[in-house]
Structure 1
Amino acid sequence: MSPQTLGILVTLALLCAAGAVLLGIGLVRGARQRERLVERVAPLLIDAGDVGSDDRSRLLERMAKGGRAIEGWVDPDNESARLMSQAGWRSTEARVAWYAFQGLIPLAGVLVVAAYWWLGDDPKKSLYLPLLGFVAFALSVLIPRWVLRQAAARRQARVKAEVPLFVHLLVLLFDAGLSTRQALSSMVREGGGVLPELGHEFAILLRSLDAGADTGEVLKNLADLLQVDDLGNILAVLRQVDRFGGEVREPLLEALAVMEQNRSLELREEVNLMSGRMTVVMVLFFFPALLIFVAGPAFLSVIKALNDVAG
C-alpha cells in the first residue's frame, strides 16, 4: 500500500469518525432541545398532529432500529440504559438519537473499508482488508460506548459538584419545619437554577412519590442509578430519617463535613500531581535552557582555550 493511498484512507477514516461524533452530539442536543420545546408548547403540538412523519424522521427511525439491534448484541446486560439515565438521556428523542448515532458508526466503518477497496492500488490489499475490517468493526463497537460513558461521567461530576449546596439548602428547609417531600418539592420549584441536574432528578423522584411509591425505595433507586457516593450518603441519611425518624440536621452536617474533608484531600492530591508534572516540564524544557545560559560561556571558553593550545 503506497503512502499516498494510506494518507487518503487515514483522512477518510478521521473524517468519518469526526462526522459521526459531531452528528451524534448534534442529534442528542437537538433531542434535548426538542424535549424542552415539547414541554413548553405541548398543547400546540397535540393540535398540530404528528411532526415526525417526514422522510428525515423515518431515516432516523431506521438508523435507531439498527443501533438498537447492535446494542442488543454487544450489551446483553443492558448497561446502556443505566448509562443513558446517568447521562440524563431519559426522553424518547434522546434515546432515538443515541441509537441512531450507534447505528451510524458501523456505516462509517463500512464506507472506510469500501473506500480502501476501491481506491487502494496496493496489490496486497486483499491481505490488509480483513485487518482493516476488524479495526473498523472494533471501533464501531467501542466508540459509542466510550461516548456514552464519557457523557455519564461528566454528568456524575456535575451532580457531585451540586451535592454540598444541596445539603446546605436541605438543612435550611428542615430548620424551617418542612418534611422531606416538601423540601425536595421546594428545591425543584425554586432551586432549578442553582441545582439543574439534581433538580431534574428530584422532579422525576417527586412524580414517583405522587404515583404512590415508597419514599425510602425511591431514594434508594436514585442513589443506585446515579452512583455518586456523596449523594448516596445524603440520600441514605434521608432514608433513615424517613423510616425511623429522629434528628436530621446533625447527620447532614456531619456528612457535609466528611464530604468537604474528602474534597480537600482530592484537591491536595491534584496539587501534588500538578507539581510533579510541572517538575517534569521544568526538567525537560527549562533546565536545559538554564544550563546552556549559565554553563554555555564557560564551555565555549574552554573549547577556545583548547583550540589555542592545539593551534
Structure 2
Amino acid sequence: MDASWYVALAVLLLLAALTLAVSQSRAANREQRLIEQRLGGAMQPGAGRWGSELLERVSGSGLGRRLRLRDQEVRELLARAGWNGTLPRSLYQTLQVSLPLLFCALVALFGIIQARPPQSLLLPLAFASGIGFLLPKRVLAHLAAKRCQKLSEEVILFIQLIRILFDAGLTVEQTLRVVQLEGRSIVPVLTEELATVLQHADSGLDLAEELDQLARRLQVAELSDCCTVLRQMLRQGGSARASLQTLKELFEDRRLTSLQEKISKLSAKMSMVMMALLFPALLIILAGPGFMAITKALGGIK
C-alpha cells in the first residue's frame, strides 16, 4: 500500500468526523428551535448561531472535555488573555484539535508530491502533530503575557484616577464605576476587567470578593496590590490616600528598575555589535599600512 492510500484514508476519516459534527450540530439546532417555538422566544441569526453551536459541539466532545479539564494552565491563560466567553474557549479547543490534523495532512500531501515512501514520513508526521498541538497554547501564552504587561502599565494611571475620585468624596464602588465608564481611553484593558467585576456585583455578589477573584485570575503583581488596598477600604473603611501614594511610588520604582535593567542589557548587546563590526575595520585602518609595508619589505628581499 503506497502513501496515496494512507492520505486518502486520512482525508475520508476527517470528512467523516466533520460530517458527524455537522449532523450533531444541526440536530441540536433543530431541537433548540422547537423549544424556542414552544416557549415563544425570538430566533437568533442562523449563520452566526450555527457557527457558535458547531464550535461548542466540537469543544464539548469527549476529546475536547479531556483537554479542557486536564490543562488548568490553559484556563488561566484564557482568563489573562481576556477570553472569558464560551465562544473564544470553544474556538481554542477546536484549533487545538484541528491543527494537528491539518499539519499532518499538509505533511502527507508534501510527501505525495515528493513521492517519498511512507516510512520516511513517520517522523515528520510526529513533529507536525506535536507542533500543531502546542502552537495554540504558545500563541495564547504570548497574547496573555502582552495583555498582562499592558495591565501592569495601566495600574499607575488607575491609582492616580482613583485618588482624584476619592478626594472628590466618592466611595470605592462609585469610583470603580466612574473609571469603568469614563476611563476607557486611558485604561482600556483595565476597564474591561472592571466591567466584569461590576456586572457580578450588580448580580448580588460581594464586590470585595470579586476584586479578590480578579487579582487571582490575572496574577498581575501591581493589580493584586491595588486590589488589596481596595478590599481593605471596602471591609474596614477609612482613607487609603497614603497607601495609594506608597503603591504609586513603589510601582514607579519598579518600572525605573526594569528600564535600567533593559538599558544595561541593551548596552551589553551594543558592545557585542561594536566588537563584531567596528574592531575589524579599526584593525584594518590601524594595522593595514604597517602590514603592507612589511609585505613590501619582505617582497623586495630575494
Q: What is the TM-score when the length of structure 1 is the normalising length?
A: 0.77
Does residue 276 in structure 1 map to residue 268 in structure 2?
yes
User: CA–CA distance in 1 between the matches of 2:237 and 2:53?
Assistant: 54
Does residue 263 in structure 1 map to residue 255 in structure 2?
yes
Give the match for residue 232 of structure 1.
224
User: CA–CA distance in 1 between the matches of 2:234 and 2:53?
Assistant: 49
Q: Give the number of equivalent residue pairs.
A: 262
Report the CA distance shift for 1:126/1:63 in structure 2 as closer, same or farther (over 3 A): farther
Q: Which amino acid aligns with 2:297?
A: A
Does residue 149 in structure 1 map to residue 141 in structure 2?
yes
Report the CA distance shift for 1:74/1:220 in structure 2 as closer, same or farther (over 3 A): closer
Q: Which amino acid aligns with 2:86?
A: T
Report the CA distance shift for 1:255/1:68 in structure 2 as closer, same or farther (over 3 A): farther
Q: Kindly report which structure 2 residues correspond to 1:1-311, keeping only aligned pairs within 5 A, or say none.
A: 49-52=44-47, 57=51, 61=55, 64-65=58-59, 69-70=63-64, 72-73=66-67, 76-122=70-116, 125-308=117-300, 310-311=301-302
Q: Cα deviations across residues 214-273 of structure 1 (Å, max 9, x unaligned)?
A: 122111100001110011001111111211222201001101111111111111100000
Offset of residue 113 of structure 1: 3.1
Secondary structure of 2:281's counterpart equals helix
Secondary structure of 2:78's counterpart equals helix
Offset of residue 70 of structure 1: 4.7
User: CA–CA distance in 2 between the matches of 1:263 and 1:53?
Assistant: 44
User: CA–CA distance in 2 between the matches of 1:282 and 1:241?
Assistant: 54
Give the match for residue 12 of structure 1.
none
Identity of aligned residues (%): 33
Q: What is the TM-score when the length of structure 2 is the normalising length?
A: 0.79
Secondary structure of 1:153's counterpart equals helix
Alignment check: 8 A CA contact 2:101 2:129 kept: no
Alignment check: 8 A CA contact 2:229 2:243 kept: yes
Q: Which amino acid aligns with 2:99?
A: I
Offset of residue 73 of structure 1: 3.2
Instruction: State the structure with more CA Rg.
Output: 2
Of the structure 1 ranges 161-170 and 293-302, higher mean CA displacement relative to structure 2 is found in 293-302
Q: Cα deviations across residues 105-136 of structure 1 (Å, max 9, x unaligned)?
A: 112222123224423334xx444322112211
Higher relative contact order (CA 8 A, sep 6+): 1
Stretches of structure 2 lacking an aligned partner (at least 5 in a row): 1-40
Alignment check: 8 A CA contact 1:64 1:101 kept: no
Alignment check: 8 A CA contact 2:56 2:87 kept: no
Offset of residue 158 of structure 1: 0.8
Offset of residue 193 of structure 1: 1.1
User: CA–CA distance in 1 between the matches of 2:85 and 2:138?
Assistant: 21
Secondary structure of 2:47's counterpart equals coil
Q: Cα deviations across residues 34-87 of structure 1 (Å, max 9, x unaligned)?
A: xxxxxxxxxxxx9773242688x3896389438983573376043322211211
Secondary structure of 2:141's counterpart equals helix
CA RMSD, 1 decimal: 2.5
Offset of residue 278 of structure 1: 0.3
Offset of residue 296 of structure 1: 1.3
Secondary structure of 1:246's counterpart equals coil
User: CA–CA distance in 2 between the matches of 1:197 and 1:260?
Assistant: 20
Alignment check: 8 A CA contact 2:108 2:125 kept: no
Stretches of structure 1 lacking an aligned partner (at least 5 in a row): 1-45
Report the CA distance shift for 1:92/1:58 in structure 2 as closer, same or farther (over 3 A): closer
Secondary structure of 1:52's counterpart equals helix
Q: Which amino acid aligns with 2:70?
A: P
Report the CA distance shift for 1:63/1:276 in structure 2 as closer, same or farther (over 3 A): farther
Report the CA distance shift for 1:97/1:170 in structure 2 as closer, same or farther (over 3 A): same
The runs of 4+ residues in structure 1 deviating greater than 4 Å are: none
User: CA–CA distance in 2 between the matches of 1:211 and 1:155?
Assistant: 27
Report the CA distance shift for 1:128/1:75 in structure 2 as closer, same or farther (over 3 A): farther
Offset of residue 274 of structure 1: 0.2
User: CA–CA distance in 2 between the matches of 1:148 and 1:262?
Assistant: 26
Alignment check: 8 A CA contact 1:192 1:199 kept: yes
Report the CA distance shift for 1:180/1:66 in structure 2 as closer, same or farther (over 3 A): closer
User: CA–CA distance in 2 between the matches of 1:100 and 1:66?
Assistant: 10
